[in-house]
Amino acid sequence: MTDTFSLSLTALPDIPLIQPGDNLTTIILEAVARAGMTLQDGDVLVITSKIVSKAEGCLVDLRTITPGAEAQALAAEIDKDPQLVELILRESVRISRKALHVLVVEHRLGFVSANAGIDHSNVVGNDENLVLLLPIDPDASARDIRTEILNRTGTAIGIIISDSHGRPFRLGTTGVAIGVAGMPALLDLRGQPDLFGRTLRISMLGYGDMIASSAQLLTGEGGEGLPVVLVRGLQFPKMDGHAHDLQRPAESDLYR
Amino acid sequence: MTDTFSLSLTALPDIPLIQPGDNLTTIILEAVARAGMTLQDGDVLVITSKIVSKAEGCLVDLRTITPGAEAQALAAEIDKDPQLVELILRESVRISRKALHVLVVEHRLGFVSANAGIDHSNVVGNDENLVLLLPIDPDASARDIRTEILNRTGTAIGIIISDSHGRPFRLGTTGVAIGVAGMPALLDLRGQPDLFGRTLRISMLGYGDMIASSAQLLTGEGGEGLPVVLVRGLQFPKMDGHAHDLQRPAESDLYR
């Protein structure tokens, strides 16, 4: 058996609650050492967006938000908090679907998600007024962490910043990659032959999303107790993917 | 570090091309031994639907299919093979979306997928006329394999029969669980407190799908070269999930 046939995932232990301004790279490298591990070229670190947002200070106090007319009308229509609806609209480019208590939007980052990915649980203690926005530019956050790890350890790894999304047709959230660096996000196998030499027909893998999902088997939904997972054993081509590679263009989407 | 914090995935080596009538349990147990492993309670085997279909003889020769009037009209409209369209319609309860070369249906098993999951690659050699339908009842197939493994080894494991689906909004296929036995399919965390004691809000995990996706990082799209992955280290409650637990009821789906 060779490494090609196996993968290991390790949730890094004892990562402290993240505060605004924390250096995530330092915290992650310390946790890798605590796990008794050393980073290797080709490793992938999956980091929940929650701790990236916290380190980057993306906290908002809902009491500071003044809902505009659109947010007020929409909040009344779907029975949601007007301040939260205002924030969701600010983070979005358009509304995808709305229903009682439900607001699904196209996020400014391009993906479609409920509540613009704004996180209301586990933010700071029990303060119901504090919510967490997604990082400003998760691909850039991923790139920065990757570069700092490369500079400090000489190791070239892949980074995925993950979030947890619902989806049409199926119940339960799964992991998605909203920031990617140093690795493919979408793996395009088109043109590669199958076992019998025929060309594969359906052959784009949602690679970053599948890796984010695999990590979420350890982190669970919360994403804060065990917010970083080291994935070892992936075999991927050297390329610089971006989270938007995983976004289906609206004009080719039959479900917009 | 405890086992709780790590997962290992092993693609079982040297599984032969499956023929109709093959006993998959025997083939899998031999491959586990070849990998130098022994099954343990709580292990999960992820098996691609392709080899389950092959073992169950779900092959169809398109030349034997006579397209009806609906299939002929639809095939002309979207420019697809009329025999294939006839088979897709027979495997489906309704059409979800259609476009040039694209037919997305609600499968008789309840999920929404392109071409009713009918597989045209890697079927038997280079014969373009042979296609593979999904197993008749993948939950039952999973249950049968689980029971036979329990009887032969005394080990209680979880089984997922996996497929690869496209999805709205995002490019690239990801893994989905279309058959489940001996484990939860959907993991419902509602009511569990988060780190600060507040109750989690979004808290249903697409557990079976995330496991299927993690296995697909090793099997790739084809699903035949490395069709069985042993996942070790998952922590899940004892329960008997079913694939349909993961299916969002049409009446609560904003995107049907």
In chain B, the domains with their CATH numbers are 3-58+136-246 (3.30.1330.100), 61-132 (3.90.1660.10)
Neighbours of B190 (CB within 10 A): 10
For residue A101, the chain B residues in CB contact (below 8 A) are none
Under DSSP, is residue B98 helix (H, G, I), strand (E, B) or coil?
A: strand
Question: Which residue of A lies nearest to B124 if distances are taken between CA atoms?
Answer: A196
For residue A164, the chain B residues in CB contact (below 8 A) are 202
Residue of B200, B205, B218, B248 best to disrupt the A interface, most CBs of A under 10 A: B205
For residue A13, the chain B residues in CB contact (below 8 A) are 1, 5
Separation of alpha carbons B132 and B87, rounded Å: 10
The single-letter DSSP state of residue B135 is: P
For residue B204, the chain A residues in CB contact (below 8 A) are 171-173
Q: pLDDT tens for residues B219-252?
A: 875 556 899 999 999 999 999 999 999 999 888 8
* pLDDT score at A118: 93
Better pLDDT: B190 or B105: B105
Separation of alpha carbons A202 and B27, rounded Å: 27
Q: Which residues of chain A have pLDDT under 50?
A: 1-3
ipTM above 0.90, yes or no: yes
Phi, psi torsion values for B63, nearest 5 degrees: -70, -15
Mean pLDDT for all residues in chain B: 91
Better pLDDT: B127 or A150: A150
Q: Is A100 on the interface with B (CB under 8 A)?
A: no
Q: Is A172 on the interface with B (CB under 8 A)?
A: yes
Is the pLDDT at B151 greater than 60? The verdict is yes
* pLDDT score at A117: 92
Could you say which residues from 62 to 91 on chain A have a Cβ atom under 8 Å away from some Cβ of chain B? none
State how far residue A29 is from chain B, nearest Cα, in angstroms: 16
State how far residue B170 is from chain A, nearest Cα, in angstroms: 5
Q: Is A198 on the interface with B (CB under 8 A)?
A: yes
Q: Is A8 on the interface with B (CB under 8 A)?
A: yes
Q: Tell me which residue in B122, B171, B197 faces A246 most closely, judged by beta carbons.
A: B171
Better pLDDT: B91 or B5: B91
For residue B170, the chain A residues in CB contact (below 8 A) are 111, 176, 206, 209, 246-248
Contacts of residue A252, Cβ cutoff 8 Å, sequence gap at least 6: none
pLDDT band of residue B37 (cuts 50, 70, 90) is very high
Residue of A217, A242, A256 best to disrupt the B interface, most CBs of B under 10 A: A217
Under DSSP, is residue B10 helix (H, G, I), strand (E, B) or coil?
A: strand
For residue B225, the chain A residues in CB contact (below 8 A) are 195
Answer whether A176 sits within 8 Å of B198, measured CB to CB: no
Contact status, residue A22 vs residue A88, Cβ threshold 8 Å: no
Q: How far is CA B184 from CA A229, B89, B238, B244, in A?
A: 23, 31, 8, 11
Q: Is B14 on the interface with A (CB under 8 A)?
A: no
For A53, the token pair is: 């947002």
- A and B: number of Cβ contacts within 8 A: 246
Q: pLDDT tens for residues B66-123?
A: 999 999 999 999 999 999 999 999 999 999 999 999 999 999 999 999 999 998 765 6
Secondary structure (H, E, C), chain A: CCHHHEEEEEECCCCCCCCCCCCHHHHHHHHHHHCCCCCCCCCEEEEEHHHHHHHCCCEEEHHHCCCCHHHHHHHHHHCCCHHHHHHHHHCEEEEEEEECCEEEEEECCCCEEEHHHCECCCCCCCCCCEEECCCCCHHHHHHHHHHHHHHHHCCCCEEEEEEEECCCCECCEEEEEEEEECCCCCEECCCCECCCCCECCCCEECHHHHHHHHHHHHHCCCCCCCCEEEEECCCCCCCCCCHHHHECCHHHCCCC
